[in-house]
Amino acid sequence: MRLVWLICAALMVHVAVGQKTYVGVKAGGHASSAFIEHTIFNLNLNSTFLPGVNSGAFVKYLPKPGDSFLNSGIQLGVNYVQKGWKQTFLTDEPNYTARMRYLEVPLEGFGYFGEKNKYFLSAGFYMEFLMSVDKDDDPDPENIGSADFYTYEEGRDREFGYGGRLGGGIFRDLPIGTFQIEGFFSYSFSNFINPGDLSTESPDISNHWVVGFTVGYMISLGNKTE
């Protein structure tokens, strides 16, 4: 709770002194996968990329620029993100896919430089809430060779998570609004599989990761940052 109050206070300060506030929407594509392992036991589980889409709305606060080359700001928002992974087998067993749809609430700080074209780097954290899961039928255990198989199970595994996010890109003010292009990488610090007792071979490490891009459009609610 103390962290929530600190975040709210920081946002209020930025709103009070901010020279420019943007409100925007964004959408893009990405590749996602999952890192599934066990601290003690070696798992033979080959997870690969799965394509997905993401979209969201965000608010970007830019305080009054200083005399330095680099300026800073804060961004928060809400995102819809498709995550998941594909598991492949060395036998003729069909690939297995699991698609998980999350609502993310990110909070990021960013630094930027430039006049007309503003280049930025961002870093922050997010909370995520599971919305739905689509999974293929479980593979035939007699036809997966030496591979291990584990997947998300409703009722056992976690619906809430958190992680970190890094991004970078460019935004520019135009007469019709502000456009932004961003590349990003996110990694969930929390595990979506609940392993229970570590003495079992159920993976105690299960982290989503996503790499992708977004294209955004923003309108300005403040004065010029230049």
3-state SS assignment for residue 188: strand
Q: What is the mean pLDDT of residues 2-22?
A: 55
Rounded CA gap, 53 and 81, in Å?
Answer: 6
Please state the pTM of the whole predicted model. Answer: 0.86
3-state SS assignment for residue 93: coil
Highest mean pLDDT: which range of 5-19, 155-169, 190-204 = 155-169
pLDDT bucket at 63, cuts 50 / 70 / 90: confident
Average pLDDT in the chain: 89
- Structural tokens at position 204: 């105690």
Check whether 148 has a pLDDT greater than 80.
Answer: yes
C-alpha distances (whole Å) from 37 to each of 23, 31, 47, 149 are 40, 20, 11, 11
Domain 2-220 top-level CATH class: mainly beta
- Structural tokens at position 190: 């929390």
Instruction: Output helix, strand, coil percentages for the chain, rounded to the nearest 5.
Output: 10, 60, 30
Check whether 116 has a pLDDT greater than 80.
Answer: yes
Cβ-based neighbour number of residue 129 at 10 Å = 11
| Selected residue with higher pLDDT from 18 and 50 | 50
Residue 172: the pLDDT is 94
For residue 125, which amino acid is it? F
Residues with Cβ < 8 Å from 181, sequence gap 6 or more?
Answer: 169, 170, 171, 213, 214, 215, 216
